[in-house]
DNA sequence: GGCGTCGAGCAT
DNA sequence: GATCATGCTCGACGCC
């Protein structure tokens, strides 16, 4: 059982040092205050190697032939440096400096000088962490360019790369290489996009097509060596390609507002910037917990790792679906941030967990001083002590509310999308608080919190179903008996029976408010949308037209079906998508069958 | 062909 | 030396 302990009871292996360091290290500038006087310099780069046919380049054998660089001041539209360091001669490129070399070692060293002179604060690129940086360092070592690795901001510190296996339940196992560039932040756009976006393909080409609606200069990798061995015109073509590969990450960075968002995230959670890409969700949460506990003079015990860690607990309920094709509106009611709101409403926290003994000893009164969760665990009420988790969740959800507010007034479609991504990220952060209490092999697990949270959830969804069906029926003067045809974790799908869209929406809204009133704050059931028509295939597999206003539908929504899965060929996706369109939009079941 | 197990990929 | 969770479907595969 994990509980925070007051300082005087601390034991020897507590982590007091970590707390003090965190407090000293974290600056809290006012929201949105970015330095205008000394804008960050961002270097976006890309290298090309002359590989052998069909073999992936190896630093001990294949030379680096071009290094393209684009340097931008943060906030400015256009870069102020565009150059390419090349081996051999290259025909001129507009608005671009070209540096030709005969000697590869000299080129690498001159590039190092260039980096030192530009002195970038941030270095970005595409797959730089796993390819460009290690390759350059290995190549320099092979060429005995001993001065090369000194390109960090610590003049006497060598840049080195090391490999590690990063594994996380969320992101899967990944072999990653890291390179130190002390004083210069790194942002590998490949890593970033793999983390934050759900795409079918993560090649630079596909990613740019998706976000920038722009293809990259297409040179197949087998062509690189050929172009290099040609004349100065073919090498020019290669340099243009290389330059574009350096520029596109910069464009992505700007479009997706990565730097701003990641800075915000680092500030909210209080972890160093590079942790955001190189580490998991856990450190972010722990860091926040450290901060909060310091405010309250609490220490966090260094929990000894338990051997087993395999004990599972019960999760959420999925209501048995009444499968079928519904040619009438089906309203969707959702609990907003279900698990975080449960933890807040019932004050579930490490600091509020009790056991029978304590309750007896302190003569606490049930439901006044403490509560018993459906799972049987005991927590004290907020009156006795407000939990730290509640406070952290309040902060995260507050930030999310602000993001959503900005989103509502923003008109630029792309900034809208980004703000949407941000509020989603904050939601993920808030939701991960629950996840971490249940991570038995994590740093600070607490199963009573996790299983109590899910037990409340199970109880709530059952109650919602019962309340809705008990109120909206013929006996109570409504025209039809409402029916909950499906539900998963925090949502219920209600068929009110009416065929009128506007009426279904009105009833949905009303039902959401009605049910919300039956639960403790800040738990809230929201009416979000109506599906009409609605095709319910199975648990976690359905499709429907998504309506938020009665005059026109917003989109076709499909969940769990092949159209959203990435483990099929494109043909399957298109066939099913067209069938669904016929079925839902054209309402032509005959066509769909073919 | 039915039955169980496993892993991928999704929903929440 | 790290690593948020459980529930569910479906296809692949082995077995008889």
Asked if pLDDT for residue A163 goes beyond 90, the answer is no
Percent of chain A whose pLDDT exceeds 90: 63
Could you tell me which residue, A330 or A201, shows the higher pLDDT? A330
Q: What is the pLDDT of residue A586?
A: 85
Inter-residue contact A99 to A85 (CB < 8 Å): yes
Read off the pLDDT band of A264 (50, 70, 90).
confident
Distance of CA A135 to the CA centre of its chain: 29
- Give me the DSSP letters along A103-148: -HHHHHHHHHHHHHHH--SEEEESSIIIIIHHHHHHHHHHTT-TTT
Could you tell me which residue, A3 or A422, shows the higher pLDDT? A422
Q: What is the pLDDT of residue A14?
A: 30
Q: What is the pLDDT of residues A386-428, one digit of tens each?
A: 999 999 999 888 888 888 888 889 888 767 766 776 777 787 7
Neighbours of A81 (CB within 10 A): 16
**Which of left, alpha, beta for A87 (phi over 0: left; psi -120 to 50: alpha)?**
beta
Asked if pLDDT for residue A362 goes beyond 80, the answer is yes
Judged by C1' against the alpha carbon of A332, the nearest nucleotide is: B12
| Average pLDDT score over residue span A577-587 | 89
Distance A556 CA to B10 C1' (A): 18
Q: What is the pLDDT of residue A323?
A: 92
Q: What is the pLDDT of residue A432?
A: 85
Residues 6+ apart with CB under 8 A from A514: A467, A471
Q: What is the pLDDT of residues A485-508, one digit of tens each?
A: 999 999 999 999 999 999 999 999
Return d(Cα A420, Cα A407) in angstroms, integer. 7
Query: Looking at A29-38, A210-219, A393-402, A558-567, which range is the least confident one?
Result: A29-38
Asked if pLDDT for residue A1 goes beyond 80, the answer is no
Read off the pLDDT band of A34 (50, 70, 90).
very low
CB hemisphere CA count around A135 (13 angstroms): 23
CB hemisphere CA count around A16 (13 angstroms): 12
Percent of chain A whose pLDDT exceeds 70: 89
Neighbours of A155 (CB within 10 A): 9
Distance A558 CA to B12 C1' (A): 15
Nucleotides of C under 7 A from a protein CB: 1-10
Return d(Cα A242, Cα A48) in angstroms, integer. 7
Length of chain A: 594
Q: What is the pLDDT of residues A425-457, one digit of tens each?
A: 787 788 889 999 998 888 899 999 999 999 999
Nucleotides of B under 7 A from a protein CB: 8-12
Could you tell me which residue, A158 or A37, shows the higher pLDDT? A158
Read off the pLDDT band of A33 (50, 70, 90).
very low
Phi, psi of A31 (to 5 degrees): -55, 130
| Average pLDDT score over residue span A207-221 | 82
Asked if pLDDT for residue A168 goes beyond 80, the answer is no
Give all domains of chain A, ordered by start, each with its CATH number.
41-256 (3.30.420.10), 259-300+387-442 (3.90.1600.10), 303-350+444-538 (3.90.1600.10)
Model's pTM, two decimal places? 0.85
> What burial class does residue A478 get, using C-beta atoms within 10 Å of its C-beta: 0-12 exposed, 13-18 middle, 19+ buried?
middle
Judged by C1' against the alpha carbon of A431, the nearest nucleotide is: C4
Distance A391 CA to C2 C1' (A): 27
Return d(Cα A123, Cα A184) in angstroms, integer. 7
Q: Which two tokens stand for residue A34?
A: 């970015």
Q: What is the pLDDT of residues A236-263, one digit of tens each?
A: 999 999 999 999 999 999 988 888 888 8
Q: What is the pLDDT of residue A103?
A: 96
Q: What is the pLDDT of residues A467-482, one digit of tens each?
A: 999 999 999 999 999 9
Q: What is the pLDDT of residue A138?
A: 96
Whether residue A502 has a cis bond before it, omega within 30° of 0: no
Distance A142 CA to C8 C1' (A): 52
Judged by C1' against the alpha carbon of A335, the nearest nucleotide is: B12
Return d(Cα A246, Cα A63) in angstroms, integer. 19
Inter-residue contact A246 to A44 (CB < 8 Å): yes
Q: What is the pLDDT of residue A172?
A: 66
Return d(Cα A375, Cα A122) in angstroms, integer. 49
Judged by C1' against the alpha carbon of A318, the nearest nucleotide is: C7
Distance A474 CA to B11 C1' (A): 33
Distance A469 CA to B11 C1' (A): 24
Q: What is the pLDDT of residue A236?
A: 96
Distance A399 CA to C14 C1' (A): 52
Inter-residue contact A1 to A304 (CB < 8 Å): no
Return d(Cα A110, Cα A151) in angstroms, integer. 11
Distance A216 CA to C10 C1' (A): 37
Closest residue to C6 (CA, C1′): A315
| Average pLDDT score over residue span A353-357 | 93
Strand pairing report for A97-101 and A81-87: parallel
Judged by C1' against the alpha carbon of A489, the nearest nucleotide is: B12
| Average pLDDT score over residue span A76-82 | 92
Asked if pLDDT for residue A2 goes beyond 60, the answer is no
**Residues whose CB falls within 7 A of nucleic chain C?**
A 164-170, 279-283, 305, 312-318, 428, 431-432, 434-436, 438-443, 450, 454, 537-541, 560
């Amino acid at each position: 059982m994990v509980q925070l302990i007051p300082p005087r009871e601390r034991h020897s292996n507590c982590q007091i040092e970590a707390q003090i360091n965190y407090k000293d290290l974290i600056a809290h500038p006012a929201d949105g205050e970015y330095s205008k006087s000394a804008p960050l310099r961002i270097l976006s780069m890309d290298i090309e190697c002359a590989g052998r046919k069909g073999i992936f380049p190896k630093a001990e054998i294949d030379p680096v032939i071009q290094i393209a660089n684009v340097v931008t001041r943060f906030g400015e539209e256009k870069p102020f440096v565009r150059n390419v360091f090349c081996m051999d001669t290259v025909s001129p490129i507009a608005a671009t400096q070209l540096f030709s070399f005969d000697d590869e070692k000299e080129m690498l060293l001159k590039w190092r000088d260039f980096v030192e002179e530009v002195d970038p604060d941030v270095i970005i690129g595409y797959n730089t962490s796993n390819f460009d940086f290690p390759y350059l360092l290995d190549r320099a070592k092979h060429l005995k360019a001993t001065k090369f690795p000194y390109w960090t901001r610590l003049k006497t510190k060598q840049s080195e790369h090391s490999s590690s296996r990063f594994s996380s339940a969320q992101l899967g196992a990944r072999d990653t290489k890291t390179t130190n560039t002390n004083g210069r932040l790194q942002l590998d756009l490949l890593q970033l996009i793999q983390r934050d976006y759900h795409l079918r393909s993560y090649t630079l080409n596909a990613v740019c097509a998706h976000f920038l609606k722009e293809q990259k200069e297409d040179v197949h990798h087998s062509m690189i060596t050929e172009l290099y061995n040609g004349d100065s015109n073919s090498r020019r073509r290669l340099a243009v390609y290389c330059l574009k590969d350096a520029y596109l990450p910069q464009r992505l960075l700007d479009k997706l507002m990565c730097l701003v968002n990641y800075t915000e995230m680092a500030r909210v959670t209080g972890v160093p910037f590079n942790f955001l890409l190189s580490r998991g969700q856990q450190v972010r949460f722990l860091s926040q917990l450290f901060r909060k506990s310091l405010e309250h003079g609490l220490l966090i015990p260094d929990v000894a790792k338990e051997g087993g860690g395999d004990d599972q607990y019960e999760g959420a309920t999925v209501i048995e679906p009444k499968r079928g094709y519904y040619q009438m509106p089906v309203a969707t009611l959702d609990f907003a941030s279900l698990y975080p709101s449960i933890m807040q409403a019932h004050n579930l926290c490490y600091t509020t967990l009790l056991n029978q003994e304590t309750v007896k000893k302190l003569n606490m009164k049930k439901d006044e001083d403490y509560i018993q969760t459906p799972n049987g665990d005991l927590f004290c009420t907020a009156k006795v002590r407000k939990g730290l988790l509640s406070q952290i969740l309040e902060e995260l959800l507050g930030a999310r509310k602000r993001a959503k507010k900005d989103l509502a007034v923003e008109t630029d479609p792309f900034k809208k999308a980004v703000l949407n991504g941000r509020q989603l990220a904050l939601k993920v952060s808030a939701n991960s608080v629950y996840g971490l209490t249940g991570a038995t092999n994590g740093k600070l697990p607490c199963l009573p919190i996790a299983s109590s949270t899910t037990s409340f959830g199970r109880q709530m969804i059952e109650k919602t179903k019962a309340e809705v069906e008990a109120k909206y029926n013929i006996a109570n003067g409504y025209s039809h008996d409402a029916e909950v045809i499906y539900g998963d974790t925090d949502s219920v799908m209600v068929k009110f029976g009416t065929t009128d869209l506007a009426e279904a929406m009105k009833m949905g809204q009303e039902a959401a408010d009605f049910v919300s009133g039956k639960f403790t704050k800040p738990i809230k059931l929201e009416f979000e949308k109506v599906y009409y028509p609605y095709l319910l295939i199975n648990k976690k597999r359905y499709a429907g037209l998504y309506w938020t206003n009665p005059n026109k539908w917003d989109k076709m929504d499909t969940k769990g079906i092949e159209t959203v899965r990435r483990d099929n060929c494109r043909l399957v996706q298109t066939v099913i998508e067209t069938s669904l369109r016929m079925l839902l939009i054209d309402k032509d079941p005959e066509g769909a069958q073919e």
